Structure 1
Amino acid sequence: MFYSNAWSKCLICLIFLTSGNAECPKPQVEGNVVLTNDALLMNDFPEGEEATFECANGYLKEQGSERITCTSGEWSTLKLTCKKKDCGAPRKMPHLSYEFKEGTLFGASARAICDKGYQLMGPSYRQCYAIGWSGRPRCKVVTCDKPPEIMHGTIVEKPGKELPEYGGVIQYSCNEGYTLIGNKSIECTEDGEYNSLPPECKDVNDILLKPTTISTSSITTTSSVPPTIRVSGRNNGIGEHDTNAATAVVGSGIGTVIVSLIVIVLITRYCKRKGSYQFGEDRSRTEELLQFQNN
């Protein structure tokens, strides 16, 4: 009887001691907190053991304790709370701005935008990481090709650089005796092209001799002023004449020849119809006519 009671008391004490030293399972993580490296390396979590937590990558501690304690085989409640890191606005760069549709917190993206006349070099989007914004975009000014030269003219003004930049203006001038046709200046635009073709330099004499069109309400005629020509002659005394006068003389001579030919043809036909000794008529009839004429 004595042994039975003692044995029962020992069994009760063993159960009490065993239950009081119960180990805790490995802590579970969720949300934006993780176990520290030291806690991850632990395999056993006996009574009274502590486990430490920290904020996940890209998050910062907001409040609460990072530790929990194993008590009677259960972990205490974790009070640590974390919030996303704020990257803030990227550092300012010349002629560069950003569009923040997703804000500036961890994981958000920002679009890089260049001013007018500048082109983006590098990534067009930056993302907020735990260490800050990714990428380093920059804006480079747009340039145009080397200004074209023109015949019979020169470039009188242009930017100091070999390749004109956005907004650069090139001015042209014509040599003496030539007139400028088109725009006297061209400008480098935002797309890297000039806003117009370079001008041309035309000979003033060519422009004066160019046919002009005279328009009325119902009639359109084209007239040109012929140049003065010089005709030389040794004995006929021909000097300087206008081509219109020369044309009139030639036309008058041709008209006279044509009229003479028409008169000869008409006379010939008339004589053949009436008969004449000059156009091969009968010899007897010719003799009679001659005799009649002699009487």
Structure 2
Amino acid sequence: MDVLLDTLRQRELKSLLLLYLFVGNVAAYCPKPESGDGIILSYEALLKNDFPEGSEVTLECGNGYEKQSGSGIINCIDKKWTDPDLVCKKKDCGPPKAQPHMYFDTSGGTLFGSLIKVMCEEGYQISGMNYKKCYSPGWFGKSTCDIVTCKKPIEVENGKNSWNADGKPEYGQMINFTCSEGYVMLGSRSILCTKTGEYDPLPPQCIDTSTAKVFTATPTSHRAITVTARVSTNISTKEQDYRLSENKTAPTSVLSSTATPLKDQNIENININKNKGNAAVIISVIVVTLVVCIVAFILNKFLMRRKGSYDTGEDLKPELLQFQTL
């Protein structure tokens, strides 16, 4: 009987010891540490699965962050981790290095994760990315500012231009035009390659002066007079309005067909205005005619009704005429 009691006591003691060891082990472990703002676990801490009482773990700054202060060491005490003293801040990429004719909008900052806009000076266009982003190694996004170019100037018939290079004209370059002998220029002598890649103004034309028909004009004073000339070209037939200056000493005369317009004088096309005026006159005549017809028709109807109310419209028969003579 005593032996049996001793055996039972030993089993109870073993059970209590195992329970104590189990409860003690559970109570002595800390949970896995959590990362914070820009803070991560070190590589050694990531390899561990258990963190018993008294364990020590090192924290580090994450990608894009750098250590500002603190040791980064935390300890497991009474199932809790001590407060971390590590402070991490975002890396600063600093001002990006600009390429020629390039500048940036850095209103969004230059810290890790920031975006900045890439811009080019007037007359230049972006080739590549419009934005740069700050990553841990630095700015990412390659771009350049290339000068704007225009198409090669067209060949002017009966004239030539000053462009003789193989490449295209660039922003700010000017192209000059000249006409062959016996031709006058219609338009500007020079055109400019603008920031949009287009020319301003448009290229001129060279007009044959021998085919021009100039009307005579009698000036009444020493003021500028207007002469209308009809010019035939293989491009188009236009009526041009030339403003020529009258020589104060010259008497009343007939203008020569070889008169050259003033330099860079704007020539107006009056053919369109003339056609518009003729169309307006025709429309006015048609409207007036329709109004007159409608009014005449209404008056005729009104008069016919009045006549029918007093006169039957029948002629007197011959046999009734004798009564009228009594």
Q: TM-score range by the shorter chain?
A: 0.5 to 0.7
Determine whether 1:135 maps to 2:159.
no
Q: Partners of 2:175 and 2:56 in 1: how far apart? A: 77
The one of 11, 20, 32 aligned to 1:26 = 32
Question: Is 1:159–1:169's contact at 8 Å kept on the other side of the alignment?
Answer: no
Identity of counterpart residues, as a percentage?
44
Question: Is 1:158–1:168's contact at 8 Å kept on the other side of the alignment?
Answer: no
Partner AA of 1:125 in structure 2:
Y
Give the CA deviation at 1:23.
2.3
Q: Deviations over 1:29-81 (max 9, x none)?
A: 22221112221221111233211111122111101012112234332221000
Q: Deviations over 1:148-205 (max 9, x none)?
A: 11111112x2374421011111111111222222211111100000001212222233
Question: Is 1:215–1:221's contact at 8 Å kept on the other side of the alignment?
Answer: no
Q: Deviations over 1:252-282 (max 9, x none)?
A: xxxxxxxxxxxxxxxxxxxxxxxxxxxxxxx
Question: 1:190 aligns to what SS in structure 2?
Answer: coil
Q: Which residue of 1 aligns with 2:322?
A: none
Q: Partners of 1:164 and 1:211 in 2: how far apart? A: 42
The one of 133, 146, 150 aligned to 1:144 = 150
Q: Partners of 1:221 and 1:200 in 2: how far apart? A: 20
Question: Is 1:142–1:190's contact at 8 Å kept on the other side of the alignment?
Answer: yes
Decide whether aligned partners of structure 1 residues 44 and 65 sit closer, same or farther in structure 2, where only a CA change above 3 A counts.
Answer: same
Q: Partners of 1:226 and 1:103 in 2: how far apart? A: 71
Decide whether aligned partners of structure 1 residues 167 and 216 sit closer, same or farther in structure 2, where only a CA change above 3 A counts.
Answer: same
Q: Partners of 1:60 and 1:159 in 2: how far apart? A: 58
Decide whether aligned partners of structure 1 residues 221 and 37 sit closer, same or farther in structure 2, where only a CA change above 3 A counts.
Answer: closer
Question: 2:157 aligns to what SS in structure 1?
Answer: coil
Question: Is 1:159–1:168's contact at 8 Å kept on the other side of the alignment?
Answer: no
Q: Which residue of 1 aligns with 2:84?
A: 78
Partner AA of 2:143 in structure 1:
P
Q: Partners of 1:130 and 1:214 in 2: how far apart? A: 84
Q: Partners of 1:105 and 1:212 in 2: how far apart? A: 78
Q: Partners of 1:84 and 1:221 in 2: how far apart? A: 77
Equivalent residues in 2 for 1:144-183 (5 A)? 144-155=150-161, 157-158=162-163, 160-183=165-188
Determine whether 1:202 maps to 2:207.
yes
The one of 57, 60, 65 aligned to 1:51 = 57
Partner AA of 2:203 in structure 1:
P
Question: 1:29 aligns to what SS in structure 2?
Answer: coil
Q: Partners of 2:158 and 2:172 in 1: how far apart? A: 26
**Structure 1 alignment gaps of length 5 or more:** 1-6, 228-295
Q: Partners of 1:80 and 1:35 in 2: how far apart? A: 12
The one of 187, 191, 195 aligned to 1:190 = 195
Question: Is 2:113–2:134's contact at 8 Å kept on the other side of the alignment?
Answer: yes
Q: Partners of 1:212 and 1:112 in 2: how far apart? A: 62
**Runs of 4+ with deviation above 3 angstroms:** 212-217, 220-227
Q: Partners of 1:189 and 1:75 in 2: how far apart? A: 68
Q: Partners of 1:179 and 1:194 in 2: how far apart? A: 21
The one of 212, 215, 219 aligned to 1:211 = 215
Decide whether aligned partners of structure 1 residues 137 and 225 sit closer, same or farther in structure 2, where only a CA change above 3 A counts.
Answer: closer
Question: Is 2:113–2:135's contact at 8 Å kept on the other side of the alignment?
Answer: yes
**Structural RMSD (CA):** 3.3
Q: Tell me the TM-score normalized by structure 1.
A: 0.63
Question: 2:46 aligns to what SS in structure 1?
Answer: helix
Partner AA of 1:151 in structure 2:
E
Decide whether aligned partners of structure 1 residues 166 and 76 sit closer, same or farther in structure 2, where only a CA change above 3 A counts.
Answer: same
Q: Partners of 1:212 and 1:121 in 2: how far apart? A: 59
Q: Tell me the TM-score normalized by structure 2.
A: 0.58
**Structure 2 alignment gaps of length 5 or more:** 1-12, 229-252, 258-326
User: How many residues matched?
Assistant: 214
Give the CA deviation at 1:110.
0.5
Question: 2:93 aligns to what SS in structure 1?
Answer: coil
